[in-house]
Structure 1
Amino acid sequence: MIAGAGGSNPALTPRWDRVDSRRLIAVARKVYFKHLTTNGYSLDPLGVVVNGQHDDGRVVFEMPTLLPEEQFISAELIGLRLKRPRVTKDRARGGAFS
C-alpha cells in the first residue's frame, strides 16, 4: 500500500546511511534535466527513480514500484538546492538589505 509523496512514504525514502546521497541526487538531477530538455515542462513529475548500479534512471509521474537496486528521489529534493535564494555578503552580515 503506497500513500502520499515520496518524502512521506518510508518505503520510497532512500536509506541515507546506506547510500552515497551526493551521487544519487546528482544522477537524479542529470536524469531530470535531460528529461526537461527533451520533453519540456508538460507535466510535473513526482521524482526520479535512480538505478544505483548503473548511474541512470527514469522520471516518474506516479508512485513507482522499486527494484532492490533502485532509489526514489522526489522532485522536491532534486530542486531543493536550485530554489534556495542566494545570500549576498552584505545580507549575511546584516547589511543594507535587512
Structure 2
Amino acid sequence: MGSSVQPLTPQPRWDRINSAEVIASARRIYFHFLECSPTHPDPLGVVIAQAPGGQGRVVFELPVLLPEEQFIPLELVRGRSGRSRSSRSPLRG
C-alpha cells in the first residue's frame, strides 16, 4: 500500500556508518554472546548503537530500531562463507 511499509530485514545505513567499525563491534558482541551462552540458538543478528564504544545486543527477532541503532545480520557478523581465505599454517616458523 503506502511507502511506510518497512522491509522484512532492516538493512544497515552504510552511507551513515563506518562499516569496518560497526562490523567489528558486532563481531565482538556476537563472540562474547557465544562465550557466555554456547547452547542458545543462533540469533538473527546484532543491534549496534552508533554512540562511541559500539554498545549493542544480539537479537532473536527482527528488531524495532531506534534512530541511532543499526541492525547487522548474522551473515555479515560471521563473514561470508564463500569468501576465500589465505591458508596460514599455525606451524609456520
Normalised-by-shorter TM-score class: 0.7 to 0.9
Identify the residue that residue 76 of structure 2 maps to in structure 1. 77
Alignment of 1:1-98 (within 5 A): 4=8, 6=9, 12-54=10-52, 55-81=54-80, 83=81, 84-87=83-86
Q: TM-score, normalised by structure 2?
A: 0.76
Equivalenced residue count is: 81
Farther-moved stretch of structure 1 (51-60 vs 66-75): 51-60
User: 1:3 Cα deviation (Å)?
Assistant: 5.8
SS at match of 2:79: helix
Matched residues, percent identical? 48
User: 1:25 Cα deviation (Å)?
Assistant: 0.4
Q: Runs in 1 of length 4+ with deviation above 3 angstroms? A: 1-4
Give the letter for the 1:64 counterpart.
P
- Cα RMSD of the aligned pairs, angstroms, is 1.8
CA 1:3–1:20 in structure 2 vs 1: closer, same or farther (change >3 Å)? closer
Q: TM-score, normalised by structure 1?
A: 0.73
